[in-house]
Amino acid sequence: MPDALKPQLDIAAELLALLTDTTTEPRPDPQLSALMLAVTADLPVLLWGEPGIGKTAALSQLAADLELPLTTVIASVHEPSDFSGLPIVGDDPAEQGVPMAPPDWAVRLVRTGRGLLFLDELSTAPPAVQAALLRLVLERRVGTLRLPPAVRIVAAANPRSSAADGWELSPPLANRFVHLQWTYEHDVVVRGLGGTWPRTALPRLDRTRLPDAVSLARRAVCAFLSARPGLVHRMPTDEARRGGPWPSPRSWDMALRLIAFATAAGTSRDVLSMLVRGTVGDGPGLELLASLDRLDLPDPEELLADPTGAALPERGDLRQAVLDAVVAAVRKRPEKARWDAAWALLDRASQTGPPDLVVVPATTLATLRRDDWTVPAAIDRLAGVVNLSHRADEAAARVGAAAGAGR
């Protein structure tokens, strides 16, 4: 049929098909990797982001990558009974009671046996609906029906300032999610509109690393909470912050699981940081990550036993922590041989990394000298570094004092 005789809607359909004909390319995306890892770990995830930045599109891509059917439920347009179950009166309610029948979408998920349940517009759901969602998110129960283990739950919400008739999330519901801030990259959007969208590989768990991953995660969380008992449970006093991630025994258990999965998958530090901070909050999460780094630091006693062959961390903060730990070990058991070994280690650190990192430990180590201890040659080599640092500090102090006097 000539184009002139074709119905306009048929021609429009062809144009729409051409517009939706896009390709994908491999591209690392930390936030999509974090989402995939949390879903793989079978934890409920809540995506926070402004309207129109691609949260729903990311969920569609995730469902396709996981080969899971996507079921979307708009939380704000449902009644509490849609999640807690609809009462159905039977033949003899006095004897049999009134069962709570699940909605059709839950029945379909059970029949399929697997799927990705997407709870959209969560921040516009009123408190009564949020309360009804508690059991669904935590126990995977809808009425008398239990969702299969192969069903994963992801929700999305807009900040209250940009949500239509938005509500703050209730603390019990918020504490059941891994919270991820969803943003966009300019280059990704431009290239995607040009027809090529990014594709992120699914996390691949290394079976040989599973026992060590579990051991590391348990050690990291337990050691941290032993040192910071006040963070075991700390619900924020601010209403808005209570609707986000905060530390509780439940969220620490989630963080432990995420560390184990991230370790087994060899996940990047950026992805792990998103997940941990999205579970227990920024402050506790960053403290836990710093503690996790220190678990892999070398033993100070081993470094003192072989200072010339010691392998020091490349990262400045970790190297500083190692040098401080070595000086603390000498302070705990001050002996001439250990004192000399510490100086040799500091000398090596100044030659293989930023010399300013040895200033504080060298100054502290010098105060530990006994009168009958001879001065090692390493001190002479480090003296210039320490003096230069002190002169820089004095110069900075003079500049600051002059600026203050000129005000």
Q: What share of the chain in percent tops pLDDT 70? A: 88
Angle at 55 between CA 51 and CA 59, to 5 degrees: 155
Q: Which residue has the higher pLDDT, 407 or 46?
A: 46
Angle at 231 between CA 227 and CA 234, to 5 degrees: 165
First-residue to last-residue Cα distance in the chain: 84
Predicted pLDDT of residue 389: 41
Q: Is the CB of residue 168 less than 8 Å from the CB of residue 131?
A: no
In the chain, the amino acid numbered 400 is G
* pLDDT for residue 165 is more than 80: no
Distance CA 40, CA 321 (A): 34
Q: Is the CB of residue 204 less than 8 Å from the CB of residue 265?
A: yes
Predicted pLDDT of residue 398: 46
Mean of all residue pLDDT scores within the chain: 84
Q: Which residues make Cβ contacts (< 8 Å) with residue 229, sequence separation at least 6? A: none
Give 291's pLDDT tier (boundaries 50, 70, 90).
Answer: confident
pLDDT in tens, 372-389: 888 777 777 776 655 544
In the chain, the amino acid numbered 212 is D
- What DSSP character marks residue 379? H
Whether this model's pTM surpasses 0.85: no
Distance CA 320, CA 300 (A): 12
In the chain, the amino acid numbered 296 is D
Best CA proximity match to 260, nearest among 36, 41, 46, 45: 41
Q: Which residues make Cβ contacts (< 8 Å) with residue 113, sequence separation at least 6? A: 148, 150
pLDDT in tens, 97-127: 667 778 888 999 999 999 999 998 888 888 8
Q: Is the CB of residue 221 less than 8 Å from the CB of residue 255?
A: yes
What is the mean pLDDT of the segment spanning 59-63? 85
Residues written for the chain: 407
Phi (first) and psi of residue 52, to 5 degrees: 80, 15
Distance CA 88, CA 93 (A): 9
Predicted pLDDT of residue 216: 92
Coil, helix or strand for 207? helix
Residue with tokens 């770990």: 41
Distance CA 71, CA 154 (A): 10
Residue 102, CB-side half-sphere exposure with 13 Å CA sphere = 18
Distance CA 367, CA 357 (A): 17
Burial class (CB in 10 A: 0-12, 13-18, 19+), 168: middle
Does an H or E element contain 145, and which?
strand 145-146
